[in-house]
Amino acid sequence: MIEVYHMCGNMLNPGAYNYTHHPFPILWIYTALEASLGDWGIEFLSNLARLVGLLLTFSTLRKLTDDRAAWVASLLCAVAPASIFFSMDPSVIALGSVTWPVCAWIFFQMKDDRAKARALGFVVFAGGQVSWLTLTLLPSLMILTKSPNTNWKDDFLHPLRNRYWRAMIIGGGLTLLLFIIQILVYSPHLAADWDYLLRQSSTSSTHTRSRWEIFPSILLRIVALTGPALLYGAFRTFFKTQKSGAHRLSIERAGQVFFAIFILTGLVLSRFFLNERSMYEYLVFPAACLTAIALHRAPHRRTVAILVLLAAASLAYAQIQSTVPRLSSASIAIGNFVKNSSTPRDWIFTDLQEQRPPFETWDVGSFFYTSQIADRLMVFYMETPVQLEKNLASLTPHPPSVFFLLNRRAPNADEWNEYLVHHGELVSHLFEKQPATREALSLRLRNCYWKLLGLHQVDSRNSAADGTVDLDLYRIHPTWKENSTSPF
């Protein structure tokens, strides 16, 4: 698996850019599906897994509550924003959330205890081969499968006496061991992995926001992506706990504990939970279970009406998200220009930056989409010639050609131009006038949401794009290959 920043083009040494932060087995399956069935093979597996998860959710809820509560909670589960956003997204993190309903169905529906324990252990192991985040489910699954005839002290002092716990501990331990081995074997730079972990936990010196400053944004994402309807139903059980059957009580406690574990994990990996949204699908199933229990205990029409109104708000949020433009005209123009002026094995360095001219302020995916369209390995954010030299000195083996894409309207364009004239040759020039994107309601609402999260904030006075794409493409002289410590 290659780092997202190095996925495009045709690399001579892909092993130097291994991305070992997610389990490889699910990616091997994705690769086999794409090779045999194309992209739709991956989409089929992803959608099939989610459909099975939803059906198992409904089956489990019918076992624990009445039909009406199960139908309503399952419907809310299907229309939760996280479910909608990842219905066509093969994100391995989101896909791992299917482990939740599968384990619950096995525990409540299967009869043979030995087969049940083996199935639970296997699903925990398999879930860990999809995403390491499934290991956060283990404490809740242990609460779910706790024997009602023993006390908590004995269970935790002797966890292997419970056959379900023993099977899941073995499955979770094996999957964790394989993940650690994967990192040790495949990672090209363990120090870089450690630095990545520090950055995701907001303990790196490069980040100014502490985890406690990010925490309110994580809570906001929980509300937005789980959906206010499921959260309303779930929190009714937090404050109105009643005596109930052993199975219903076990899933209630498991769901409540997972909310606490999820928030604690978000505090530890605060930047990861701020920048990504796939992990929030893990909250959908426990919230649906808690909502179904709340409806079963208090089947009032008013409660159902409130849930329907809140679900409508979630659908409106998802609809607004779908109208936000993903691809800008500037990304298309620049991507095609680079593609037509270079070969797949060439590296393209550039001083272009996201949300800076010629890209508009709403265009937060410009570097990714531009690279995808060009199918070239592009390195953005080159601010000084010294930074470029350091990057060139680290290239091993050397690519056939290295280009620099200069934004002629950047503040330091003259400095770059003087440098490139001495160390390269002008290959091509692009000048286009792109139509400005009208700031639709969806973009304005998204900007407000970003302000609340503290994401993608730029100084609009220095970021106003007039639609002019004015770029020079230089081929760097090959003399930099002769001395890796002094490329020029």
**Residue range 328-385, pLDDT digits in tens:** 889 999 999 999 999 998 999 999 998 888 988 888 888 889 999 999 999 999 999 9
Please determine, for residue 324, whether its predicted confidence score (pLDDT) is greater than 90. Answer: no
φ, ψ dihedrals at 253, nearest 5° = -65, -40
pLDDT tens digits, 91-129: 899 999 999 999 999 999 988 889 999 999 999 999 999
pLDDT band at residue 488 under the 50/70/90 scheme: very low
The pTM is what?
Answer: 0.86
Residues 294 and 233: beta-carbon distance below 8 Å: yes
Q: CA–CA separation, 42 vs 32, rounded Å?
A: 9
pLDDT single digits (tens) 49-60: 999 999 999 999
C-alpha to C-alpha distance for 388 and 427, rounded to whole angstroms: 18
Name the token pair of 218.
């994580």
Q: Which residues pair with 425 in a beta bridge?
A: 475
Distance CA 202, CA 44 (A): 36
Is the pLDDT score of 462 beyond 70?
no
Q: How far apart, in whole angstroms, are the C-alpha atoms of residue 92 and residue 228?
A: 25
pLDDT per residue as tens digits for the range 121-169: 999 999 999 999 999 999 999 999 988 777 777 878 788 888 999 999 9
- End-to-end Cα distance, the chain: 33
Q: What is the DSSP letter of 6?
A: G
Which one, of 429, 107, 89, 359, lies nearest residue 225 by Cα?
89
Between residues 479 and 69, which one has the greater pLDDT? Answer: 69
Return the number of other C-beta atoms located less than 10 Å from residue 75's C-beta.
Answer: 17
CA distance 54 to 102: 10
Q: Report the C-alpha gap between 235 and 48 in whole angstroms.
A: 30
How many angstroms separate the CA atoms of 360 and 460, rounded? 10
Query: What is the pLDDT, as a whole number, of residue 393?
Result: 80
Q: Kindly tell me if the per-residue pLDDT of 483 is higher than 60.
A: no
Whether the predicted pLDDT of 203 surpasses 70? no
| The predicted structure's pLDDT at residue 158 | 82
| pLDDT for 234 beyond 70 | yes
Mean pLDDT over 217-245 rounds to 84
| Residue 165: per-residue pLDDT | 93
In the block, tokens 């993190």 appear at 93
Q: Any idea what DSSP says for residue 436? A: P
CA 361 – CA 88 distance, rounded (Å): 27
| Region 424-443 average pLDDT | 83
300-313-318 Cα angle (round to 5): 135
**239-270 pLDDT, tens digit each:** 665 555 556 778 999 999 999 999 999 999 99
DSSP alpha helices (H): ranges in 342-412? 366-374, 385-393
